[in-house]
């Protein structure tokens, strides 16, 4: 699993956490139902946003949920999970972009994929995933060619990028792909009037996902001599942060123009949790408006640019980090110097894609993701804390 929107269960609360898990499990089961057990490894947090947006516009109709059987990752409990075209669109997008990510790792020769026999097997898997995503997209009327075209153009753009190249030129293919996926949720939900604002929200989300992935990978990319959009274009930390803040503001404005039946979860993920992702990537600490001395929680429009009621702990109940499906590292990996000119310690050797997938499932099945005081990230090998340890999330929300 991978993605930049990784909410803590303490901030979600029981109701929204149940909804979030319904979409996560729904995406996983949609992949299994259409493409077999192995396809479930492409389940990711950012991809399920497509399912969340579809349901937010259509409402939680009974035909959009079903009861799933016991699952090891749910503690062998049954659960109500999302189903239908929203979950299948999320599955199609995840498959196509995971296929691109595998090809990206193959081009870089990462880990085991640097060995010819493994690379040949991975190429076949990537090809099958791309075709499977196209079939599912076709079944629900979504043409995945726009995603494939964006991936193909990314390679050429990165090859030509250099000092002075605008960073937004590099992020454009990612923006185009996510804009198409977000906009199609309006079609599936029968709300064509929402297509334009959601396309704008998707475009900016793609920009932010690509940007944050580059920021988080910059030190590791520098150590491995890998390509990174920030280093390649000479983008300063201040400019990267400015672009991130502009994208956050633009997403809030775009969501204000869309009409939702129940937009609570979509609002939390795309406004509050996305802001937390920016703080996490840039190493800054958000301050909860409810905890500011002498300052009451801010009131007003929930999509406005005020306080951040969900700030607090940075627990991650469900994942071990990693890249994101909509952008980032690119066809040449990632790479550049220390961020801000400060020497950084030598990063641990990253695991390859397949080794990381195996370690992720091991961490899940042994409950170390949630219960361990400390564990090693499946791909990054960075030290992380279990999500149930020392979470001090703010419980107030005035939205």
Residue 375, CB-side half-sphere exposure with 13 Å CA sphere: 23
pLDDT at residue 380, as a whole number: 78
pLDDT at residue 221, as a whole number: 84
- Do residues 321 and 377 make contact, with C-beta atoms less than 8 angstroms apart? yes
pLDDT at residue 356, as a whole number: 78
Task: Indicate the pTM of the whole model.
Answer: 0.71
SS (H, E, C) 111-167: HHHHCHHHHHHHHHHHHHHHHHHHHHHHHCCCCCHHHHHHHHHHHHHHHHCCCCCCH
Residue in this structure with the two tokens 């999330």, named with its chain if needed: 393
pLDDT at residue 120, as a whole number: 83
**Which helix (H) or strand (E) element contains residue 21?**
helix 9-35
Rounded CA-CA distance 257/125 in Å is: 40
CATH code, residues 9-384: 1.10.600.10
Digit-coded pLDDT (tens) for 243-278: 999 999 999 999 999 999 999 999 999 999 999 999
pLDDT at residue 185, as a whole number: 95
Q: Which sign does the torsion angle of CA 273, 327, 45, 340 carry? A: negative
Rounded CA-CA distance 17/265 in Å is: 9
Positions in the chain short of pLDDT 70: 1-2, 60-63, 107-114, 285-348, 364-373, 385-399
Collect contacts of 28-31 with beta carbons under 8 A, ≥24 apart.
29/68, 29/81, 29/83, 29/87, 30/83, 30/87, 30/88, 30/90, 30/91, 31/91, 31/94, 31/95
Phi, psi of 377 (to 5 degrees): -55, 135
Rounded CA-CA distance 86/65 in Å is: 11
Rounded CA-CA distance 57/30 in Å is: 20
- Do residues 188 and 140 make contact, with C-beta atoms less than 8 angstroms apart? yes
CA 169-271-56 angle, 5° bins: 105
């Amino acid at each position: 699993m991978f993605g930049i929107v990784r909410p803590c269960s303490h901030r979600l609360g029981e109701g929204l956490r149940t909804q979030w898990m319904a979409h996560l499990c729904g995406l996983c089961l949609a992949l299994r139902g259409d493409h077999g057990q192995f396809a479930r490894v492409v389940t990711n947090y950012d991809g399920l946003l497509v399912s969340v947006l579809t349901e937010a516009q259509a409402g939680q109709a009974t035909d959009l949920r079903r009861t799933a059987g016991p699952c090891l990752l749910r503690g062998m409990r049954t659960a109500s999970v999302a189903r239908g075209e929203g979950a299948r669109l999320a599955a199609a997008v995840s498959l196509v972009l995971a296929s691109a990510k595998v090809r990206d790792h193959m081009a870089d020769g990462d880990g085991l994929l640097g060995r010819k026999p493994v690379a040949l097997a991975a190429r076949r898997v990537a090809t099958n995933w791309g075709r499977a995503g196209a079939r599912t997209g076709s079944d629900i009327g979504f043409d995945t060619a726009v995603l494939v075209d964006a991936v193909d153009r990314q390679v050429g753009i990165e090859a030509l990028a250099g000092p002075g190249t605008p960073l937004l030129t590099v992020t454009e293919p990612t923006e185009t792909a996510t804009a198409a996926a977000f906009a199609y949720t309006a079609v599936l939900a029968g709300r064509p009037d929402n297509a334009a604002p959601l396309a704008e929200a998707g475009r900016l989300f793609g920009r932010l996902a690509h940007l944050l992935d580059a920021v988080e990978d910059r030190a590791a990319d520098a150590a491995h001599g890998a390509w990174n959009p920030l280093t390649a274009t000479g983008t300063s930390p201040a400019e990267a942060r400015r672009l991130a803040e502009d994208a956050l503001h633009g997403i809030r404005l775009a969501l204000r123009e869309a009409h939702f039946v129940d937009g609570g979860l979509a609002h939390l993920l795309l406004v509050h949790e996305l802001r937390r992702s920016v703080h996490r990537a840039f190493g800054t600490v958000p301050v909860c408006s409810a905890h500011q001395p002498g300052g009451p929680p801010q009131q007003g429009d929930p999509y406005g640019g005020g306080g951040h009621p969900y700030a607090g702990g940075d627990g991650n109940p469900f994942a071990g980090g990693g890249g994101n499906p909509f952008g980032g590292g690119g066809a040449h990996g990632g790479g550049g110097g220390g961020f801000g000119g400060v020497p950084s310690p030598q990063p641990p050797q990253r695991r390859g894609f397949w080794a990381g997938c195996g370690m992720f499932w091991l961490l899940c099945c042994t409950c170390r993701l949630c219960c361990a005081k400390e564990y090693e990230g499946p791909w990054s090998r960075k030290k992380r804390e279990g999500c149930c340890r020392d979470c001090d999330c703010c419980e107030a929300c005035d939205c």
